[in-house]
Structure 1
Amino acid sequence: MKTTITSAKATRLNFRDFTSVPMRTFWITSIAFFLCFFAWFGIVPFMPDVVRDLGLTPAQKWNSVILAVSGTVFARLLIGKLCDKYGPRLCYTWLLLLGAIPVILCGLVQTPLQFLICRLFIGFIGASFVITQVHTSLMFASNIVGTANATSAGWGNMGGGANRLIMPLIAAAIIGLGVAEADAWRYSLVIAGVICFLMGIVYFFFTKDTPEGNFKEIKAAGKKIKGKKKDEVGFLEALKDYRVWILFVVYAACFGIELTVYGTMDDYLQNTFNLERITAGNIVLSFALMNLFARTLGGYFGDRFGKLKGLRGRVLFLVAILAVEGVMLVTFSTITSLLLGIIFLVAFSLSVQMAEGATFSVVPFINKKAIGSISGIVGAGGNVGAFLAAMLLKSKAAVAEQAAINANSGASEEVIRLAQSEAAATAVSSGYFIIGIMVFVIGLLAYAIKFSTADEKNAIEELKLSGQENFIPSNA
């Protein structure tokens, strides 16, 4: 007979605590996630150098981006199931150790084909998000799990933006040691890969699967641990649960859109507001770094609404913040004033990242027997959304730019460039508008997520066990 793991879970986030199992795991998994995203997008600041060094065509450059995202989709689907079976500690350890290999090899490639293959496998470390969410879900009680999930996830997203500052600094230090500037990007990637490998060793020795111990130890003691057959049932239940697929689409509408907007915003700001590349890049970097607190806010408010209105309250907040995200993106897409544009870009950034945190304040309550599987499916939805949104924007911009070039055939190079830039800005603007409308509609779809009376009662019991008797939902 299995026992539950509730009483030993942390009921608050004490950021100064580095000794308890839940908080030590929180810090290690957050740092590991940061490093994974840092390595995943580590090549971005060096793409001009890679294009020159390897002779990449524009198609090959775009394919490298698509491959990196595509690899992550399959890895996230798989890793969630593995977490349910073997535990997040071993899964993260092996992901870091094996994921470091293609990062290091990417610094050693000599041909475009080798580079594309490495980009595909580097994308697998994007599955680190799923393990992070599973691990924090196992470590924190229901009153704080949304905030914990959102905060740890925010670190990873921040890693994807921080590399724009840190990777060039690493390259500069390498050049200062006498390495040729043309090879600096290669050494930088090798260093990033080695750091990930070392983090895998740290993860193995300094974390546990649950506050009570590792899955293997718990199973040996005859306590709560799912056998193979039950794991399979849990995974099948996750696949059949309509709520999982709604959250799959929801995460596509927040994290997927954030990735796409982050990847296209540099050019859009330059083309629309005539900004310098450095200025546009700094604005986009600020957008990415907001994850440090914005995503946490989403998880925090998800937890607060959960205390006030039960599991339904978490869903209602998710619906509201998705609707705000859609409105902000639609509004931003119509603005031509730089000041107003920045204001609504910040508002969009805040809402999209809060929506991500709110999504994973709901995920842990869908089916506790398959938290890993559900996290994997929902997490994969984010990358699917990024892929589809990027394809939409790319197709609209490519057609518009070609039409502008044809219409100005015979004009000076400067005239053609300006026409092409204006066409691209208009096309991407219309694409943002369409995506914003779709996000708003998906927000309404999230309203269909329901919980049974038994689920609500279980959530209340967890609140009582975590010492939150004063926050029992009013409709209990």
Structure 2
Amino acid sequence: MNTPTQTKSTNLNLLNLKNVSIRTFWITAISFFMCFFSWFGIVPFMPDVVKDLGLTPDQKWNSIILAVSGTVFARLLIGKLCDKYGPRMCYTWLLILGAIPVVLCGLVQTPLQFLICRLFIGFIGASFVITQVHTSLMFAPNIVGTANATSAGWGNLGGGANRLGMPLIAAAVVSFGVAEADAWRYSMVVAGVICFIMGAVYYFFTQDTPEGNLKDLRAVGKTVETKKDKISFLQVLKDYRVWILFIVYAASFGIELTVYGTMDDYLQNTFQLERLTAGNIVLSFALMNIFARTLGGFFGDKFGKLKGLRGRVLFLSFILTLQGIMLVTFSLTTSIVIGFVFLILFSLSVQMAEGATFSVVPFINKKAIGSVSGIVGAGGNVGAFLAALLLKSKSAVAEKAAIAANRGMGEDVINSAQAAASSAAVSQGYLLIGFVVVVTGVVALSIKFSNEDEKTANKELEQSLGKLAPANS
């Protein structure tokens, strides 16, 4: 797309669609939203899928694990590809190719086919990395944390909006005469088609940087931030700060994914809530992405302005530690009222921690933003995988023991014992995870920046604002 030469935006004026940075912000956020909408689109229909395909409890848990496992490899790869080919082409192809397993998920006939589709659908979770790379390239240091957090938060919202959107799509197809038992299949096909369409939109209406597309800029000898110069992927891997942020994102986004995926059953089993009520509570948890993640990026930028790059790290450490404390407290709660309060506080803090993480990421290595973003983003899914594995192992063992202990009793007695065993096991898992998050918050303090890094960041801030800013030391 041919666009007049522009510079990085120093504000987030969402109505200024003539500005390439703002236009890209909207398109990348909507694309990310649709990727997450499709990634978790099957969640509202899981009871129907279990019945239709005859999934065992192990297969149901494995589908959750596979859905986040594929994303790990995709995120690691896509970051490096963004550095090489630019975010525009990477997002275009991810949306187009990612639409295929989403559509195929609606056509599966066996548990194995379903599990394979869940694995490959997870690849579109790599959209997060491209979103962060693209907004990092489009916005100046004074606002980059807020822009990254907002685009990511609004994209993450797709993981909650599907709880309303997918049933609405299902209701719409049923109104056209489709059997209710097959509505989940048609809903997945519709979601896949929308992803494909967004791939075309991304190609025609965005560009890699405010100055133009990466390929064109290289052709005329211009240098841009995505160019690796002499920075190899191996050098990025050797930077300890990248791996600390990898762990930090595992402890924030990874835990949000796992809690989101297990909270429905936990609320029903622990507080005897109806399925619809539990779903609405989890939906409110996801809807907080509208503003909570933005707050994390906003405060990251504010602390960065006050205390330099070290200020960003200090805020990240604080909010991550607070997140762990909230989860620990929630895991010990037996009152639904108190539990709801701490669940909201956990939701607020975990999403702010995610935003704060990516207010630090763009300053780790400006010549390899894609690679750094990819590694850190993959950490989120590694965290989700490990947390889901922990909860599955504890819950599966407890449920099998409860079933064995009550064999011969009535179905209601067995179901009640199974629910109580699952509740206790998951509660213990949340408690353990919460303590790990607190420790990770303390470890985050070990992220350091050199005086040269601080001076470079401050200089770029001055240049982007067109004025002298107070020196940070």
By the TM > 0.5 criterion, same fold? yes
Supply the distance in 1 between the matched residues of 2:397 and 2:298 (Cα, whole angstroms): 43
What is the percentage of aligned positions where both structures have the same residue?
A: 76
Write the deviation string for residues 160-194 of structure 1: whole angstroms up to 9, x where unpaired. Answer: 11001001101111110111222211211111111
Q: Following TM superposition, by how much is the alpha carbon of 1:149 offset from its aligned partner in structure 2, in angstroms?
A: 0.3
Q: Following TM superposition, by how much is the alpha carbon of 1:472 offset from its aligned partner in structure 2, in angstroms?
A: 2.8
In 1, are the aligned partners of 2:83 and 2:368 still within 8 Å (CA)? yes
Q: Which position in structure 2 is the counterpart of 1:456?
A: 454
Q: Which position in structure 2 is the counterpart of 1:308?
A: 306
In 2, are the aligned partners of 1:234 and 1:369 still within 8 Å (CA)? no
Number of positions where the alignment pairs a residue of Structure 1 with one of Structure 2: 469
Residues 1:59 and 1:300: Cα distance change in structure 2 (over 3 Å) = same
Supply the distance in 1 between the matched residues of 2:462 and 2:6 (Cα, whole angstroms): 10
Supply the distance in 2 between the matched residues of 1:136 and 1:161 (Cα, whole angstroms): 22
In 1, are the aligned partners of 2:6 and 2:211 still within 8 Å (CA)? no
Q: Which position in structure 1 is the counterpart of 2:344?
A: 346
Q: Which position in structure 2 is the counterpart of 1:318?
A: 316
| Bigger Cα displacement from structure 2, 77-86 vs 265-274 | 265-274
| Bigger Cα displacement from structure 2, 427-436 vs 245-254 | 427-436
Match runs of 1:61-460 below 5 Å = 61-225=60-224, 230=228, 233-460=231-458
- 2:210 is matched by which residue type in structure 1? P
- 1:440 is matched by which residue type in structure 2? V
In 2, are the aligned partners of 1:7 and 1:465 still within 8 Å (CA)? no
Supply the distance in 2 between the matched residues of 1:314 and 1:53 (Cα, whole angstroms): 49
Residues 1:468 and 1:352: Cα distance change in structure 2 (over 3 Å) = farther
In 2, are the aligned partners of 1:146 and 1:357 still within 8 Å (CA)? yes
In 2, are the aligned partners of 1:7 and 1:466 still within 8 Å (CA)? no
Q: Following TM superposition, by how much is the alpha carbon of 1:227 offset from its aligned partner in structure 2, in angstroms?
A: 9.8
Q: Following TM superposition, by how much is the alpha carbon of 1:7 offset from its aligned partner in structure 2, in angstroms?
A: 8.2
In 1, are the aligned partners of 2:157 and 2:286 still within 8 Å (CA)? yes
Write the deviation string for residues 292-330 of structure 1: whole angstroms up to 9, x where unpaired. Answer: 100000000000000000000000000000110011111
Supply the distance in 1 between the matched residues of 2:439 and 2:316 (Cα, whole angstroms): 13
Write the deviation string for residues 342-380 of structure 1: whole angstroms up to 9, x where unpaired. Answer: 111110000000000000000000000110001000000
Residues 1:300 and 1:164: Cα distance change in structure 2 (over 3 Å) = same
What SS is found at the alignment partner of 1:466?
helix
What SS is found at the alignment partner of 1:389?
helix
| Bigger Cα displacement from structure 2, 309-318 vs 213-222 | 213-222
Q: Following TM superposition, by how much is the alpha carbon of 1:63 offset from its aligned partner in structure 2, in angstroms?
A: 2.1
What SS is found at the alignment partner of 2:109?
coil
Q: Following TM superposition, by how much is the alpha carbon of 1:412 offset from its aligned partner in structure 2, in angstroms?
A: 3.0
Give the unaligned 5+ runs of structure 1.
1-5
Supply the distance in 1 between the matched residues of 2:203 and 2:141 (Cα, whole angstroms): 26
Residues 1:38 and 1:232: Cα distance change in structure 2 (over 3 Å) = farther
Match runs of 1:17-32 below 5 Å = 17-32=16-31
In 2, are the aligned partners of 1:85 and 1:231 still within 8 Å (CA)? no
Write the deviation string for residues 397-418 of structure 1: whole angstroms up to 9, x where unpaired. Answer: 1222222233334433323322
What is the TM-score with the length of structure 2 in the denominator?
A: 0.96
Q: Following TM superposition, by how much is the alpha carbon of 1:96 offset from its aligned partner in structure 2, in angstroms?
A: 0.6
In 2, are the aligned partners of 1:12 and 1:144 still within 8 Å (CA)? yes
Give the unaligned 5+ runs of structure 2.
none
Q: Following TM superposition, by how much is the alpha carbon of 1:277 offset from its aligned partner in structure 2, in angstroms?
A: 1.1
Residues 1:355 and 1:227: Cα distance change in structure 2 (over 3 Å) = closer
Q: Following TM superposition, by how much is the alpha carbon of 1:225 offset from its aligned partner in structure 2, in angstroms?
A: 4.7
Q: Following TM superposition, by how much is the alpha carbon of 1:430 offset from its aligned partner in structure 2, in angstroms?
A: 1.2
Q: Following TM superposition, by how much is the alpha carbon of 1:231 offset from its aligned partner in structure 2, in angstroms?
A: 6.0
Write the deviation string for residues 199-250 of structure 1: whole angstroms up to 9, x where unpaired. Answer: 111100100100000001111111105899x467332221010000000000
- 1:355 is matched by which residue type in structure 2? A
What SS is found at the alignment partner of 1:275?
coil
Q: Following TM superposition, by how much is the alpha carbon of 1:112 offset from its aligned partner in structure 2, in angstroms?
A: 2.3
Residues 1:18 and 1:279: Cα distance change in structure 2 (over 3 Å) = same
What is the TM-score with the length of structure 1 in the denominator?
A: 0.95
Q: Following TM superposition, by how much is the alpha carbon of 1:119 offset from its aligned partner in structure 2, in angstroms?
A: 1.6
Q: Which position in structure 2 is the counterpart of 1:3?
A: none
Supply the distance in 2 between the matched residues of 1:179 and 1:100 (Cα, whole angstroms): 22
Q: Following TM superposition, by how much is the alpha carbon of 1:468 offset from its aligned partner in structure 2, in angstroms?
A: 7.2
What SS is found at the alignment partner of 2:231?
helix
In 1, are the aligned partners of 2:226 and 2:370 still within 8 Å (CA)? no
Superposed CA RMSD in Å reads 1.7
Write the deviation string for residues 71-106 of structure 1: whole angstroms up to 9, x where unpaired. Answer: 110000000000000000000001011111111122
Supply the distance in 2 between the matched residues of 1:342 and 1:468 (Cα, whole angstroms): 46
Q: Following TM superposition, by how much is the alpha carbon of 1:114 offset from its aligned partner in structure 2, in angstroms?
A: 2.1
Supply the distance in 2 between the matched residues of 1:233 and 1:297 (Cα, whole angstroms): 32
Supply the distance in 1 between the matched residues of 2:283 and 2:467 (Cα, whole angstroms): 42
Write the deviation string for residues 366-397 of structure 1: whole angstroms up to 9, x where unpaired. Answer: 00011000100000000000010111111111
| Bigger Cα displacement from structure 2, 219-228 vs 121-130 | 219-228
What SS is found at the alignment partner of 1:10?
coil
Residues 1:250 and 1:156: Cα distance change in structure 2 (over 3 Å) = same
